[in-house]
Structure 1
């Protein structure tokens, strides 16, 4: 029982939260900026920027080769037939893509007294961070 309590206590003290209760609504990863704004109102402040990220996709690269195979010709002899064989491998292809990042800050008492940073990428909430203990640090 003590271990369970200790684990829950440590989990609650982590810097990053998975969900947040705002004005009676649960705000969690995956929600849109519109949903969060409708439920929590305007943030105290915010920041917007574009980050460029390197992504890797795998595309098939196929080649056809011909093998010579000896087959019976139906008259007691043998004939040579060129049999096609296709070999495919997945080739990594890297590209740089833009990611629209917005960070919203909530710090007023109406939102639970613990200042929060909400990070959105391409319009979706990707994480919520508790900013407690990180104030006035330069």
Structure 2
């Protein structure tokens, strides 16, 4: 039973949200935060790289538009079963790099349209001038 408790405890630690957060001062920055909040907490990044990515999204109509009796739920809709829509959108992607010195791991924070989506460790690298 002790082994099972230890295993469950380890899984809880691995999948807890603060484990994948960045500590700046006394505050935590987590995935989903806005870049203005991150800038207020952590300060200006040491390096910023930004670019736009075009992403496509396909919406397909399938049998879910029909109810259980086989009738259309939205009979006046111009979107029929079997049709699909394709839309492209531009997403602003920004990579912020923070160098915390040789004592802490350097981090890259990736933002998409102003929201933090990923925190990546770079290791203990020295700043290059």
Tell me, yes or no, whether TM beats 0.5.
yes
What per-residue deviation string (whole Å, max 9, x for no partner) do you get for residues 97-138 of structure 1? Answer: 10000000011239x7111000000000001011127x59xx
The RMSD of aligned alpha carbons is 3.5
Identify unmatched segments of 5+ residues in structure 1: 63-85
CA distance in 2, matches of 1:30, 1:18: 12
Pair 90,39 (structure 1): closer, same or farther in 2 beyond 3 Å? farther
* Residue 41 of structure 1, aligned match among 40, 43, 48: 43
Deviant stretches of 4+, over 4 Å: none
CA distance in 2, matches of 1:24, 1:91: 52
1:125 aligns with 2:116: yes
Identify unmatched segments of 5+ residues in structure 2: 66-74
1:24 aligns with 2:16: no
CA distance in 1, matches of 2:51, 2:83: 32
What per-residue deviation string (whole Å, max 9, x for no partner) do you get for residues 25-78 of structure 1? Answer: 111111111000000000111101101111122468x9xxxxxxxxxxxxxxxx
Equivalent residues, number? 105
Q: Look at both structures and tell me which one has the larger radius of gyration over its CA atoms.
A: 1
1:94 aligns with 2:96: no
Structure holding more helix per residue: 2
TM-score (norm 2): 0.65
Conserved 8 A contact 1:18-1:127:
no
